[in-house]
Each structure stands twice: as structure tokens, then as C-alpha cells.
Amino acid sequence: MALFQKNSKAEEIDPSDLPRHIAIIMDGNGRWAKKRGLPRTAGHAAGAETFRRIATYCKNIGVEYLTVYAFSTENWKRPPEEVAAIMGLLEKYLGEAIEKMERDGIRLKFFGDTSVLSEPLRALIRETDGITAHLGKTFQANVCVNYGGRDEIVRAARLWAERVKSGEGDALDENGFASLLDSAGIPDPELLIRPGGEKRISNFLLWQSAYSELVFTDTLWPDFSEKDIDAAIAEYARRSRRFGGL
């Protein structure tokens, strides 16, 4: 089964109500598995299938960017067998995605410090980067792995300091700093969704989500559906986005 498929829309959405960029904290895999008497790894496998389905739907309805929180800098604290299972799933689905990316014009990018990942996984990431480099404007899925919002900001600050030290730095402003982040070149998410019942952003896209509309739902991520995306977009469309103005 490919990561992305060309299926028809579940229902029509007014294009004027559609965010260009949706971000999702994929939460609830472990609790979903526990409710069913299954190991947590089964929840992560189900969650990976949900990502595959939701990414396809977002592409089909016209969303330009989808960013998902797959593995945080804090997730290394989990049991080693669970971490290994998550990384194995990522490697499996990334390998499947590469087969279809170029054909379907799918851009797949990774946010986070990937230097600590296994060499096979880093090789797959390099391969996706090579494919992405020559694709034109199309749907882009960003997968955050070994990612933390604070860590991203610190890495950007270090990069800026290195440029200043080498004489390349100039007066720093928000746009200049944003160009050093993992998300450089793409718009900030207008809508950030967290399934799973928790009501916090957990160190996700701290810089980019400054004016994102936040939608929380009790639905656990493996049960998250196209209808849940529609409901979140409908909630987003009802809100008045003033960005500090009147």
C-alpha cells in the first residue's frame, strides 16, 4: 500500500475556507492500543496508517502543506523497544513512499535533528531530499522526527551565530531568523490540530504556531478521520483571525 493515493474527496470544501498549511500532533496511539488490549507498538502501526490516509485526503482537497509530529526530542525517554518500533515503522513507510513520490509529485520533507538517526533511515531521508529537490510546486508533507520547537530555535540561533562569526551575518529580523528554521520557505500553519484529548502543543512548532488557530479533539489519532479534518477546517473557518488587530 502506497503512502499517498489519488482518491476522490470525501466531500467538497469551500476553497476560501481551506488553510494552506495544516499541522497535526499525532497523539493517542498508545492509549488506542491499551483500550484494545494491544501493545503500544500496535497503536503506532495504526497511527502510521492514519497518517497515510489523512495526508492523502489533505492533498486531494487542496491543502498545500501538512506537518505532523512523529517523534519528539523528548520521545527518546520511552522504552527502547517502543522507540525501535517507531523508527522501524518510519523506515518502512518511507521506503514505500519513495516508490510513489516522484510519479505523484509528492514532496516529503523532514524537520528535526536527523543526525542521530540510524544510517539506513538517514539514507532514505537523503533519497527523499534528492527527489524533492527537482519537484515543482505541489503538496508537501513535513514529518517532524527528533524534533522539538525549542531545539529548532536553538539550532537556528547557533547557525546565525556561526554566520556572524564568519562575517556573513547581517542585522537579524524575524524573516531572517525564520529562514534558518527547518520550515524555511513555507508558510506558517494557519491551523494546528491535536487529537487525543490533551490541550497543549508540547514543544511543537513554537515559532511557526504563534498565530495558528488551535483545535483540540478527544478522538485518538488512529481513529482520526476525514470527517475530523472537515470539522477542524469548519471550526477554523468560523474564527476571526485578527493577528493582534481589531
Assigned C-alpha cell, 97: 513512499
- The C-alpha atoms of residue 188 and residue 205 are separated, in whole angstroms, by 9
Strand partners for 147: 72
Phi, then psi, of 24 in degrees rounded to 5: -135, 130
Look up residue 176 and give its amino acid: G
Name the helix (H) or strand (E) containing 147: strand 140-147
Whether 122 and 82 have beta carbons less than 8 Å apart is answered as no
Give me the count of residues in the chain: 246
E-only strand ranges, 99-139: 107-111
Neighbours of 141 (CB within 10 A): 25
Catalytic residue positions? 27, 75
Q: Describe the crossing of helices 226-238 and 40-61 by its angle, rounded to 10 degrees.
A: 60
CA 26 to CA 224: how far, in whole Å? 9
Q: Which of 125, 123, 124 is nearest to 112 (CA)?
A: 125
Among candidate residues 101, 29, 19, 114, the one with its CA nearest the CA of residue 67: 19
